[in-house]
Structure 1
Amino acid sequence: MEPLQSHRVEMLSIAVALVAVGAGTAYYFYLQRKPKGPEGPKGCLDADNFKEFLLVKRTELSHNVAKFRFALPTPTSVLGLPIGQHMSCRGKDSVGQEVTKPYTPTTLDSDVGYFELVIKMYPQGRMSHHFREMREGDYLAVKGPKGRFKYQPGQVRAFGMLAGGTGITPMFQVARAILENPHDETKIHLIYANVTYEDILLKEELDNFALSFPDQFHVYYVLNQPPEIWDGGVGYVSKEMVQIHCPAPASDIQILMCGPPPMNKAMAAHLNELGYTPEMQFKF
């Protein structure tokens, strides 16, 4: 073979080898970057089917309130629940009948590998019975996400929040998402109503919000049966309380409501009388 021809064959072989190596390297990085299934960004929830999650820790917060931590499939999995939305939890009541009820986790997708529910267990509550009987090692059937509320950072100048009892959980989730985002300057004005001081859920966390973000987060507690020494509101949430502690009606504010049906009805009446339009109101 002529020297020139031999050189050309050698160069062609090297070029083919380099192309092969390049293609192999590109394919390797493609595989590395390729989404790896349901534990990717889209989350672990299924809107159409119940999925079971393992209870790994149960923490008693009071005589009828507990925090339940459930493991996700992997330590880096996210639940995939949009801020302000909820999910359906399925269990059995005291006579063994199936029951489903919506709940909002207190965790966000920034909490990878697990999610938490703070549950108040009422004596006659059907789903309360299921949670009361749950022990570490048990599984909870969950389906979601569900809900009409979709939060985008900065969508309003300020939120007024009217919460009663366990209705604090969606408010807490929204507030936490706002306050943990350094680019979100949305202000939050929360009125939180309960019967007794012991009924206040997540009080330590809410007080820490108020202490850490004094210009952005404000909370006003209202108790129907307050202790002897009490500097919050007394009785039911009144129209005057809403007027004083919530942002005034404006196109760039929104009032969120979540509580027992009688409270929601009363709050809607207060808001209407104070001039808040339907667009400024949202009930979870």
Structure 2
Amino acid sequence: MPPPVPPVLVGAATTLLVCLAVALAARVPLVLGALGRAAAGAWGGAAALAARANVGGALGDARYALRLALGSAQAWMDEVHAAFNRAFGPEDVMLPANDWSVCTLQERMRVGNGCVKYRFKLPGPACVLPLELGQELTLCGLDAAGRVASASCVPLSPRAAQGYVDVVVAKPRPPDAPLTAAGAAAVGGADFARLLETLAIGDEVAARPGRAMLQYRGPYAPITDVVLIACGLGVVPMLQLVRELLPARESSVRAASVVWLNEAAEDFALYGELERAFYKYHRKLDVACIIERDLFGHALAGNRRVREAVPAFRIGTLAVVSGPDFFVAKVRDYLVRQGYPDEVIITV
């Protein structure tokens, strides 16, 4: 027969269990509320998709409806997962905002044609980079000759990601290769891209928050519509905006339009990422991937698909442009000619 438990220990154990039960009871409504809201959204989306499939009848329509349904389900799972992490997950450990942190190369993966996604492990599994929405991350390292190479880019991974950060960098362009608009929009310098190619898994680079570029000082608030126009890897900050603004219950944004222009089909390196975002948030998101054979020379107003994809300005609209300097200037000029006030156009 086991020895009796001393009364003091019984009292301490009982107190601990009561405190734990109270803490869990306080957090459970957070998860249940998120479950209810997400389930309602998923149910409404499923009903609409079923009606669409019944009307269409064709295999293509059914396949499209199925992908929309799966996207809605994934959005629901993401919301539940986020609510669970807020209630029961480890507390974020914010890395320094004004100092360098060491990141370790964990994985590299080719993305599309000529781009590579790098995943870096942060110093701890609960560590988070203190980045604002649309803020750049500056990465720095030493090449084999001991020279410093650095680059700044908006991460592809969520800002709240714990323990890791993903960046996408264009592979270095051969000296004799013609410069394209997507190449001019490549994230990161050529020296840093070459440095990343030489890194082995487990090698280290330094990282710290860079420029905070998404600063709206326009007169129209709240923002209800966002128009996101990008070229090349300029689509990365657009993906971040879509992922954070559209599913957020507290966001005032009701609709978003992504217009992604490139000169060739192979320049849409992150098409899969944008496609997944569309299927998740299709009730709020419009996407147009447009090929313009000469972004340097042709006027955007001459492209019918651009005219159709960019909505007319209305009060509460914010336009965000990302790409090389010539592209940003061309898009800004086009938007102003279409009636967009200059103060509602932001460059990231």
TM-score normalised according to structure 1 size = 0.74
Q: Is the 8 A contact 1:243 1:274 kept in 2?
A: no
Q: Is the 8 A contact 1:92 1:127 kept in 2?
A: no
Instruction: Supply the distance in 1 between the matched residues of 2:237 and 2:146 (Cα, whole angstroms).
Output: 29
Instruction: Supply the distance in 2 between the matched residues of 1:256 and 1:270 (Cα, whole angstroms).
Output: 13
Instruction: Supply the distance in 2 between the matched residues of 1:101 and 1:50 (Cα, whole angstroms).
Output: 14
Greater share of helix residues, 1 or 2? 2
- Partner AA of 1:211 in structure 2: Y
Cα deviation code 1:103-123 (max 9, x no counterpart):
111112332221111221232
Structure 2: unaligned runs, 5 residues or longer: 1-11, 21-89, 175-189
Tell me by how many angstroms 1:159 deviates.
0.7
Please state if 1:89 is matched with 2:139. Answer: yes
Give the alignment partner of residue 214 of structure 1, picking from 282, 298, 307: 282
2:61 counterpart residue number: none
Paired residues, what number?
Answer: 243
Distance 1:60 1:145, change over 3 A: same
Give the alignment partner of residue 106 of structure 1, picking from 156, 163, 184: 156
- Partner AA of 1:65 in structure 2: C
1:9 counterpart residue number: none
Distance 1:99 1:177, change over 3 A: same
Instruction: Supply the distance in 2 between the matched residues of 1:93 and 1:265 (Cα, whole angstroms).
Output: 34
1:187 counterpart residue number: 255
- Partner AA of 1:192 in structure 2: W
Q: Is the 8 A contact 1:86 1:147 kept in 2?
A: yes
Give the number of the structure whose alpha-carbon radius of gyration is greater.
1
1:133-152 pair list within 5 angstroms: 133-149=198-214
Tell me by how many angstroms 1:191 deviates.
0.9
1:28-177 pair list within 5 angstroms: 41=92, 43-44=94-95, 46-62=96-112, 64-92=114-142, 97-123=147-173, 125-149=190-214, 155-177=222-244
Please give the secondary structure, in 1, of the residue aligned with 2:137.
Answer: strand
- Partner AA of 2:300 in structure 1: S
Please state if 1:271 is matched with 2:339. Answer: no
Instruction: Supply the distance in 2 between the matched residues of 1:272 and 1:95 (Cα, whole angstroms).
Output: 48
Instruction: Supply the distance in 2 between the matched residues of 1:96 and 1:238 (Cα, whole angstroms).
Output: 44
Q: Is the 8 A contact 2:92 2:126 kept in 1?
A: no
Give the alignment partner of residue 312 of structure 2, picking from 248, 251, 269: 248
Tell me by how many angstroms 1:42 deviates.
6.5
Tell me by how many angstroms 1:225 deviates.
5.0
Distance 1:50 1:74, change over 3 A: closer
Cα deviation code 1:18-71 (max 9, x no counterpart):
xxx9xxx9xxx9xxxxxxxxx964622x34322220111111224521111111
2:300 counterpart residue number: 238
CA RMSD of aligned residues (A): 3.2
Q: Is the 8 A contact 2:101 2:123 kept in 1?
A: no
Identity rate, percent: 21
- Partner AA of 2:244 in structure 1: A
2:346 counterpart residue number: 282
1:198 counterpart residue number: 266
- Partner AA of 1:130 in structure 2: L
Cα deviation code 1:109-163 (max 9, x no counterpart):
3322211112212326222212222231111211214213158xx9411111110
Q: Is the 8 A contact 1:85 1:145 kept in 2?
A: yes
Please give the secondary structure, in 1, of the residue aligned with 2:238.
Answer: helix
- Partner AA of 2:321 in structure 1: M
Cα deviation code 1:206-229 (max 9, x no counterpart):
112222322211111122459xxx
Distance 1:246 1:49, change over 3 A: same
